Structure 1
């Protein structure tokens, strides 16, 4: 199958492209390299060194014999998007090409506007390009579990059967996002569902939990294939940050009480979930939603797991929560769709946090400890 990965130079886009290529698909990646620009803006860097896209693509061809075609450009350029789709003629498109960090979207007005414009308009341009060139292309869109928020009822997979005043209907699950980034993803979901109803698009919306880890079956084959390992308080995920803090002898920084519960999954499960979605496409006119996660943990429980696994003393500090979110809440997520397609999850207990300690130890000289502390606050100062 011909697959185009948008955001194919990113943390998840690059290993996804490798995974699909390794499974026999013909791959192209598209990226505007904005993620590397965010590092320069914030004065941070990936814990693990990463090569430029040209070197990565060449290294993969050298090792595997498989060609990945790179396209450099921006989804905000509608003419460029049309040209790429007409030239590569994808059968499936995996869409990672969005600003992905909630804290980044909450820095100030400019970052909020940038996030929504980049994410929502870019996805609209993609929708029009697909509808006007080949509406049979299957769009696999990376959403987020953060679209749902933390409702006091079970979270279904995208849709909800509602009975009101004696009448029943099926509608998109109500959304209660917690940042301008998460709001942009909600807008995407509604726009894509509209495209399915009106134009007959095929869409799978993958509402993904927090991803941890840095290595996949393909990226470990050569250092030139490595993907990012983000640890800073803007782009770093919580488990990655805790592991680095433990290795450096720094306190694990838990925001508030640590009762916030989220869905998590291993990076190896991310790439496999996408393969399963690509190889089992949605029907014409179907807006299909999978909750892409494997297990749930509270932030305080994650800190306990890291402390228990680390071979040395670990201190846990509770900081004032810079976000506006419920400290304690109900959280029960249905996530059966991908398992039914064949996903065999790597659970955190099987992954062994110890392996992440080794990655950090090899690269600890690249850590800026000041970048671990939160500087972005959700509430505006009067």
Structure 2
């Protein structure tokens, strides 16, 4: 199958492209390298050094014999999007090409507007390109579990059967996002469902939990194939932060009480979920939703797990939560679709010991301790008076 991976230079896009190529698919990647620009803007860097895209592509060809085609450009440039779709003729498109950090979207008005414009307009351009050039292309879009928020009812896989005043209907699950970034993903989902309903598009929306891990069966074949390891308070995950703090002998910094619960999954499960979705496409006119997670933990439970598995003393500190979110909440997520397609999940406790602690220990001299502390608050972008 011919598969185009958008955002193919990123943390998940690059190992996904390798996994698809290694699975026998003719693969291309597209990126505008904005993610590397955010590092320069924020004065941070990946814990694990990463090569430029040309070096990565050449290294993959060297170790695998497979060729990945690379395109450089922006989804907000509609002419560019149309040209690439016509030239590569993909049968499936995997869409990672969005600004993905909630804290980045909450810095101020400029960053909120940029996030929504970049994400929503880029996706609209892609929708129109597919609809006008080849509506049979299967679009696999990376959503986020953050679209749902933390409702006090079970979270279904995208759709909800509703009975109201004696009548029943099936509708998209109500969304309660927690940042301007998550709101942009909700807009994407609604736009794509509309495209399926009125144009007959094929879309799989993968509402993904927090991804952890840095190594996949493909990236470990050569250091030049490594993907990112983000740990800063804007783009890094809470788990990455805790692992680094444990290795460096620093206290684990839990925001608030640590009662916030999230779904998580290993990076190896993420790329396998993409492969399963690509090889088992949605039907014509179908907006299919999978909740992409394998385990759920509260932040306090993640801290406890890191402390229990790290071979050394670990201290836990609690900081004032810079986000506006419920400190304690109900969280029960249905996530059977991908397991039904054959996903065999990895467990967080195993990955911590097998790879995460050793990776951080190897690169601990690259850690910027100042980048671990929160610098963005959910009300910090507001100006009063």
**Which TM class, normalised by the smaller chain length?**
over 0.9
| Aligned partners of 2:6 and 2:96 also within 8 Å | yes
1:352 Cα deviation after fit: 3.8
**Where does residue 243 of structure 1 map in the other structure?**
243
Please say if 1:144 is aligned against 2:147.
no
Describe the superposition over 1:223-262 as per-residue Cα deviations: whole angstroms up to 9, x where unpaired. Answer: 0000000000000011111000111111111000000000
SS of equivalent residue, structure 1 residue 70: strand
Whole-Å Cα distance in 2 between the matches of residues 362 and 335 of structure 1? Answer: 35
**Where does residue 211 of structure 1 map in the other structure?**
211
| Aligned partners of 1:306 and 1:353 also within 8 Å | no
1:353 Cα deviation after fit: 3.5
Whole-Å Cα distance in 1 between the matches of residues 264 and 200 of structure 2? Answer: 32
The alignment's TM-score, normalised by the length of structure 1, stands at 0.99
SS of equivalent residue, structure 1 residue 273: helix
SS of equivalent residue, structure 2 residue 90: coil
**Where does residue 367 of structure 1 map in the other structure?**
367
SS of equivalent residue, structure 2 residue 93: strand
SS of equivalent residue, structure 2 residue 228: coil
SS of equivalent residue, structure 2 residue 29: strand
Whole-Å Cα distance in 1 between the matches of residues 339 and 233 of structure 2? Answer: 32
**Where does residue 133 of structure 1 map in the other structure?**
133
**Where does residue 275 of structure 1 map in the other structure?**
275
1:354 Cα deviation after fit: 5.1
Residues 148 and 381 of structure 1: CA distance in aligned 2, closer, same or farther (over 3 Å):
same
1:348 Cα deviation after fit: 1.4
**Where does residue 253 of structure 1 map in the other structure?**
253
Describe the superposition over 1:187-212 as per-residue Cα deviations: whole angstroms up to 9, x where unpaired. Answer: 00000000000100000000000000
| Aligned partners of 1:5 and 1:95 also within 8 Å | yes
Whole-Å Cα distance in 1 between the matches of residues 333 and 270 of structure 2? Answer: 17
Please say if 1:73 is aligned against 2:73.
yes
Please say if 1:349 is aligned against 2:349.
yes
Whole-Å Cα distance in 1 between the matches of residues 383 and 46 of structure 2? Answer: 31
**Where does residue 44 of structure 1 map in the other structure?**
44
| Aligned partners of 1:310 and 1:354 also within 8 Å | no
1:347 Cα deviation after fit: 1.5
1:310 Cα deviation after fit: 1.2
Whole-Å Cα distance in 1 between the matches of residues 348 and 374 of structure 2? Answer: 25
Whole-Å Cα distance in 2 between the matches of residues 127 and 325 of structure 1? Answer: 32
Give the root-mean-square deviation of aligned CA atoms: 0.7
SS of equivalent residue, structure 1 residue 176: coil
SS of equivalent residue, structure 1 residue 227: coil
Describe the superposition over 1:6-34 as per-residue Cα deviations: whole angstroms up to 9, x where unpaired. Answer: 00000000000000000000000000000
1:311 Cα deviation after fit: 1.4
Tell me, which stretches of 5 or more residues in structure 2 are unaligned? none
**Where does residue 111 of structure 1 map in the other structure?**
111
SS of equivalent residue, structure 2 residue 5: strand
Q: Answer with 182-191 or 241-250: which moved more.
A: 241-250
**Where does residue 307 of structure 1 map in the other structure?**
307
| Aligned partners of 1:309 and 1:354 also within 8 Å | no
1:304 Cα deviation after fit: 0.5
1:309 Cα deviation after fit: 1.2
Describe the superposition over 1:51-102 as per-residue Cα deviations: whole angstroms up to 9, x where unpaired. Answer: 0000000000000000000000000000000000000000000000000000
Count of aligned pairs between the two proteins? 382
Whole-Å Cα distance in 1 between the matches of residues 199 and 252 of structure 2? Answer: 49
Alignment of 1:1-382 (within 5 A): 1-353=1-353, 355-379=355-379, 380=382, 382=384
SS of equivalent residue, structure 2 residue 168: strand
Whole-Å Cα distance in 1 between the matches of residues 352 and 301 of structure 2? Answer: 15
| Aligned partners of 1:102 and 1:182 also within 8 Å | yes
| Aligned partners of 1:209 and 1:263 also within 8 Å | yes
Whole-Å Cα distance in 2 between the matches of residues 352 and 80 of structure 1? Answer: 41
Describe the superposition over 1:322-349 as per-residue Cα deviations: whole angstroms up to 9, x where unpaired. Answer: 0000000000000000000000000113
1:312 Cα deviation after fit: 1.4
Whole-Å Cα distance in 2 between the matches of residues 304 and 264 of structure 1? Answer: 15
| Aligned partners of 2:309 and 2:349 also within 8 Å | no
Residues 324 and 71 of structure 1: CA distance in aligned 2, closer, same or farther (over 3 Å):
same
SS of equivalent residue, structure 1 residue 253: strand
SS of equivalent residue, structure 1 residue 163: strand
Whole-Å Cα distance in 2 between the matches of residues 126 and 53 of structure 1? Answer: 22
The alignment's TM-score, normalised by the length of structure 2, stands at 0.98
